[in-house]
Amino acid sequence: MRPPPPARAFALAAALAAWTASPSAAQDAGLPVGRTISDVSVVSEGRPVLDAQVLELLALRKGSPLRMEDARATIVRAMGLGRYLDVRVSAEPDGDAVRLSVDLVPLPAQGRLVFEGDLGLSESAIRGAVTERFGPDPPRGRADEVARVVGDLLRDQGYLRATVTPGDARPGETGFGDLVFNVVCGPRALVRSISFRPEAGEEVEQLRLRLSIRPGVVFNRVELRRQLDAATEAWRSRGYLEARIDALVEELSEGRGVAVSIDVHRGRRVSVEFEGDPLPPPQLAELVPIQREASVDEDLLEDSRARIVSYLRGRGYRDARAEFRRVVEDSRLRVVFTVANGPLYRVAGIVTDGASQVPLRELTPLLRLSPGQACIQAVIDGDLAALTAAYRRRGFGEASCKAAIEPVPNARTAHEAPVLVTIRIAEGARTLVGSVGVSGNEAVADADLLAGLSTRPGQPFYAPNTEADRDRILLRYLNLGYRLARVEASVEHDPDTGRASVVFSVREGPQILVGHILVVGNARIGMDTIRRELAVEPGRPLALDAVNESQRRLASLGLFRRVTISEIQQRDDHVRDVVVTVEEAPATTLGYGVGLEAQKVETSEIAPRGFVEIGRRNLFGGNRSINLFGRVSLRRRTAEGAATGGQPVDGGSETAAEYRVAATYREPRLWRSLDFQIIAGAERGRRTSFSFEHQSARFNLSRRLDAAWSVQGQYSLQENRIYHDRIAPADRPLIDRLFPQVRIASVSASAVRNTRDDVFDPGRGTFLGLNGELALRELGSEVGFAKTFLQGFVYRRLPTSRRIVLAGGLRLGLGVGFPREVRLTDEHGEPVIGDDGGPQIVRVSDLPASERFFAGGDTTVRGYRLDHVGRPDTLDSDGTPKGGRAGLILNGEVRVGLWRDLGVVGFIDAGNAFRVVDDVTLRHLRSGAGFGIRYKSPIGPFRLDLGFKLGKLRKFVGTREGRRAVHISIGQAF
């Protein structure tokens, strides 16, 4: 049950329920247990309670016999809602039956912190100090501590005789929930005198100038200490590392004054010097931290010396030495460290001795130490630990590894000392698992518990495996509702046979079932929306995974700030009520902004723009949301369009508005786990050579089948209109592609299987997607076509080197246009007039430009400009891509992590766009290869690729295509 908030706790203490000495209560006599209940009324503050959730909690039912456990269960459940101070069940005779009344006493209003009396400081300052220490709502049980904190605050601020005592709430003046403190601050002390020891001197004068505390000012202990600490720090930053200032405060005149006595010790100026072999400058502060510690005492210097030696020996200078000496010169202290590295110990060879049962080829890859490296003890220790762990995993429970380091004879010089490292392995006896058994289990069969365990007969015995298996068995029970289950593993070793018998002893305890489910904290979200996400059900086992799944589902709705699921234990060990406590997130979000856009095309333009976004969740109490976005820009536009080439005519111009509006409606779980979404939008904009209007709408149903598979169906509609057309003929194909001049309405279906470990930078897994789209006039489309697109990507990390990922991809697109009649237009877009005087009509069955397949660019075939891979029938004579009804892309890449977030790749891509499906063939693929750099930024991998075209270069009108292309982008190529 959720406990009442601390603020209410004291309120509860103050809000007494007087115990009337009714004879029945006092003597506990004559309780009408067993009588039939004729009626049950539920009231709160004298009024009937109509809340269905509360009435549902009654364990007392009309017509049933009265049982005391039902009365108690009703009380416990109602208290679980967190709304009530008390719940009382009373009984009144009704003939031979009994009439029951359930009185729900609500919690009183939130209590306050009240400070009364002579506060001395502002109430906000006192309240701030309490809040900083205890939070906004201090627990009532710590009233004494609160009083002490307030008292300390007052005394620090000069009220040396301040007293603070917790008081009583007073009816009519303070609320019953209030926590009251009576404050008597007393007189505020003034500084009567300040004295320094020594009385004079340069340091004293410096300090006197720094301090703002003078005789006659109000005494503030905190401020005094702050100023003294600042002065000390200032001296230490100038090298006076031994500086120390202490203040002694003597109270005078019954707290009305203080005498402050300050001890000043600046000490000598300290410098640290190094001689002998150099140490790396970035390490000096860490190795000799006298500045940070502000001390030059003997212990610190000795620790520094030891740190220097340890640092050097850790890098292979096994004979390193360091000494220090103090040199006092007048007012200066020089600490001089003398460092001698000695020769660098280098590994000349590594010998492994004692390995007989495990082949060396399995052990050698575990060693990081290799010939030629510096002989670093940490590396050797790591290798020994790796070898030992490898043996233990193979069942050699007593295996140990040691290393001996011997100098190579007659090879030592002043700078280098070659050594031979011998790793001596004591394998010990190998233990295999002889038998595995379970005892104490009744609810779950042995076979079920033993399935999936890593401890199996014949396998090497490895204690951590056994512990993990114990946890697996325990989790199994917890997920079946045996929340009090315990599992212990006992192992018996037989040295004669080298076998270990493992027995998992289970104490199941009772299986806990779910009683009632209470939902608390929801105001706007409907109960059904919450209950629908719960994996726990009344009467079913209270399984741990069901509770976790319920919490996960509720959190993933995005409707709540916080979700907690707790349990109330009834007297019955086997039943627990589940309380789902939610804190709803804000239902409405509002965003807005303004800005300026500046650009220079023909003339300089500055366009003010503004946007607003409104989002609303929890529509109609369910998990539905709607989001509206709108953006408006104002541009000055020339009065004439193409005819004037954009230049103003007669100096005229007008202001035109660009806008974009988008609306999204989302309803998860609309029908049988299908998520529904509508996205609609309209946009009007201006480009350099044309203006456009665009409308679109999408209706989408999707469903996640499991962790990997998801399916989706969609109907989409889009329409564009271009006006103020000044498009150059060469640009028209691209414009047509981006803004198709026909209305397209289609239905599509797709299935995706995604097991990638990371969406942005996968190192493992696969992505498979199949999409089919059909556009028909009957659906509202002006063109008809059918398309299908298949894509597959695979990612594998090399087992021998976790830094290397192999990635491969295949994309295949096929499409066919349904025949339609269109007007023939010339290169200027004007209709061609036929012999009959009317526009010439031709029959085409091509895909609209926006629906065609293209190849080339940073995510398809690198080494080529965007979309510029094609055949003579999918590229214009000048190389402008036209796209085709089919496309095929193949990719292969090796990704190598070099150092931290930096990596390199090598790739080879191949692909092409084909005019018709029948043209698809591997022989006609164009390919590119190259390398690139990757940097894992917080927003995704930055990518720089340099690709080179393989094979013969093509020649277009006027130009020959270049051999290479540079691609810069964010995110992997595929």
Partner 1 sequence: MGAAVAERAAVMKRAAGTNQPVSRAAVAALALSLAWAPLGAAELLDRVLAVVSGTVITLSDARASLAFGFVGAEPAGDRIAAAVRWLIDRQLVLDEVLRSGGEEVDQARVAREMAAIKGRFASEAAFEAELERLGLGGGRAMAFVRETLEARRYVDRRFGASVEPSEEELRDYYARHLERFVRDGRQLDFVEAADDVRTALQNERREQAVATWLDRLRRRSSVVEIYRAPR
Only one of the segments 71-79, 412-420, 721-729, 921-929 lies at the binding site for partner 1 (rule: CB under 8 A); that segment is 71-79
Q: Using only C-alpha atoms, what is the Rg of the chain?
A: 41
User: CB-side exposure of 513: number of CA atoms within 13 Å?
Assistant: 8
**95 is a site residue for partner 1 (CB under 8 A):** no
Residue recorded with tokens 């599509």: 748
**97 is a site residue for partner 1 (CB under 8 A):** no
User: CB-side exposure of 110: number of CA atoms within 13 Å?
Assistant: 6
Work out the end-to-end distance of the chain between its first and last CA atoms, rounded to an integer number of angstroms: 51
User: For residue 618, with 0-12 CB atoms within 10 Å meaning exposed, 13-18 middle and 19 or more buried, which class applies?
Assistant: buried
**611 is a site residue for partner 1 (CB under 8 A):** no
**4 is a site residue for partner 1 (CB under 8 A):** yes
CA gap 879, 732 in Å, rounded: 14
**47 is a site residue for partner 1 (CB under 8 A):** no
Selected from 34, 63, 437, 595, the binder of partner 1 by CB under 8 A is 34
- The least CB distance from residue 442 to partner 1, in Å, is 15
**83 is a site residue for partner 1 (CB under 8 A):** no
When the beta carbons of 18 and 922 are compared against partner 1, the nearer one is 18
When the beta carbons of 26 and 824 are compared against partner 1, the nearer one is 26
When the beta carbons of 33 and 798 are compared against partner 1, the nearer one is 33
- The least CB distance from residue 86 to partner 1, in Å, is 5
3: preceding bond cis by omega (within 30 degrees): no
Selected from 7, 37, 130, 169, the binder of partner 1 by CB under 8 A is 169
Only one of the segments 9-17, 414-422, 717-725, 728-736 lies at the binding site for partner 1 (rule: CB under 8 A); that segment is 9-17
**41 is a site residue for partner 1 (CB under 8 A):** no
Only one of the segments 20-28, 278-286, 396-404, 521-529 lies at the binding site for partner 1 (rule: CB under 8 A); that segment is 20-28
CA gap 343, 341 in Å, rounded: 6
Selected from 31, 366, 657, 904, the binder of partner 1 by CB under 8 A is 31
Q: Side chain identity at 526, as an amino acid letter?
A: G
Q: Which long-range contacts (CB under 8 A, 24 or more apart) does 638-642 make?
A: 641/724, 641/725, 641/726, 642/724, 642/725, 642/726
- The least CB distance from residue 22 to partner 1, in Å, is 5
When the beta carbons of 90 and 331 are compared against partner 1, the nearer one is 90
Only one of the segments 27-35, 154-162, 750-758, 787-795 lies at the binding site for partner 1 (rule: CB under 8 A); that segment is 27-35
- The least CB distance from residue 550 to partner 1, in Å, is 19
**96 is a site residue for partner 1 (CB under 8 A):** no
Kind of pairing between the strands at 964-970 and 163-167:
unpaired
Conformational region of residue 971, where left means phi above 0, alpha means psi within -120 to 50, and beta covers everything else: left
23: preceding bond cis by omega (within 30 degrees): no
Count the residues in the chain.
974
- The least CB distance from residue 14 to partner 1, in Å, is 5
| 699, two tokens | 């209706």
Selected from 16, 200, 209, 953, the binder of partner 1 by CB under 8 A is 16
Only one of the segments 29-37, 295-303, 654-662, 778-786 lies at the binding site for partner 1 (rule: CB under 8 A); that segment is 29-37
When the beta carbons of 441 and 714 are compared against partner 1, the nearer one is 441
- The least CB distance from residue 510 to partner 1, in Å, is 9
**483 is a site residue for partner 1 (CB under 8 A):** no
**91 is a site residue for partner 1 (CB under 8 A):** yes
Selected from 105, 336, 475, 812, the binder of partner 1 by CB under 8 A is 105
List, in sequence order, every residue forming a beta bridge with 681; answer none if it has no partner: 662, 696
Selected from 195, 283, 548, 569, the binder of partner 1 by CB under 8 A is 569
Helix (H) or strand (E) holding 25: helix 23-27
- The least CB distance from residue 176 to partner 1, in Å, is 6
Residues 135, 136, 139: CA angle, nearest 5 degrees: 70
Site for partner 1 in 370-399 (CB under 8 A): none
- The least CB distance from residue 455 to partner 1, in Å, is 23
Q: How many residues bind partner 1 (CB under 8 A)?
A: 69
Selected from 49, 143, 749, 816, the binder of partner 1 by CB under 8 A is 143
453 to 211, 287, 499: CA distances (angstroms): 72, 49, 18
When the beta carbons of 439 and 599 are compared against partner 1, the nearer one is 439
Kind of pairing between the strands at 269-276 and 332-340:
parallel
Selected from 14, 224, 288, 387, the binder of partner 1 by CB under 8 A is 14
- The least CB distance from residue 93 to partner 1, in Å, is 5
Find out whether 858 and 973 touch, Cβ atoms under 8 Å.
yes
CA gap 528, 827 in Å, rounded: 62
Question: 3-state DSSP call for residue 640?
Answer: coil
Residue recorded with tokens 């990997």: 708
Site for partner 1 in 571-610 (CB under 8 A): 571-573
Selected from 63, 128, 135, 141, the binder of partner 1 by CB under 8 A is 141
Selected from 79, 287, 557, 814, the binder of partner 1 by CB under 8 A is 79
Give me the 174-193 binding string for partner 1, x by CB under 8 A, dash otherwise: --x-----------------
Only one of the segments 252-260, 567-575, 583-591, 659-667 lies at the binding site for partner 1 (rule: CB under 8 A); that segment is 567-575
**22 is a site residue for partner 1 (CB under 8 A):** yes
CA gap 78, 516 in Å, rounded: 11
Find out whether 460 and 431 touch, Cβ atoms under 8 Å.
yes
Find out whether 461 and 431 touch, Cβ atoms under 8 Å.
yes
- The least CB distance from residue 140 to partner 1, in Å, is 5
Residue recorded with tokens 């271009």: 722
Find out whether 551 and 565 touch, Cβ atoms under 8 Å.
yes
Only one of the segments 93-101, 529-537, 802-810, 923-931 lies at the binding site for partner 1 (rule: CB under 8 A); that segment is 93-101
CA gap 627, 616 in Å, rounded: 6
When the beta carbons of 90 and 439 are compared against partner 1, the nearer one is 90
- The least CB distance from residue 569 to partner 1, in Å, is 7
**198 is a site residue for partner 1 (CB under 8 A):** no
**100 is a site residue for partner 1 (CB under 8 A):** yes
- The least CB distance from residue 553 to partner 1, in Å, is 24
Site for partner 1 in 408-427 (CB under 8 A): none
Selected from 112, 334, 486, 499, the binder of partner 1 by CB under 8 A is 486
Find out whether 646 and 653 touch, Cβ atoms under 8 Å.
no
Q: What is the DSSP string of 63-89?
A: TSBP-HHHHHHHHHHHHTTS-EEEEEE
List, in sequence order, every residue forming a beta bridge with 626; answer none if it has no partner: 616, 665
- Smallest CA-to-CA distance from 613 within 597, 626, 624 is with 626
Tally of CB atoms within 10 A around 697: 16
Residues 737, 743, 746: CA angle, nearest 5 degrees: 95
Helix (H) or strand (E) holding 447: helix 446-450
**134 is a site residue for partner 1 (CB under 8 A):** no
When the beta carbons of 100 and 191 are compared against partner 1, the nearer one is 100
**564 is a site residue for partner 1 (CB under 8 A):** no
| 776, two tokens | 């028909």
Listed in sequence order, the residues at least 6 apart from 596 whose beta carbon sits closer than 8 Å to its beta carbon are 606, 607, 608, 609
Selected from 43, 55, 68, 366, the binder of partner 1 by CB under 8 A is 68
Find out whether 922 and 812 touch, Cβ atoms under 8 Å.
no
User: CB-side exposure of 727: number of CA atoms within 13 Å?
Assistant: 22
| Interface ranges with partner 1 (CB under 8 A) | 1-4, 6, 8-10, 12-22, 24-26, 28, 30-31, 33-34, 67-72, 75-76, 79, 85-93, 100-101, 103, 105, 139-144, 166, 168-171, 176, 484, 486, 566, 568-569, 571-573
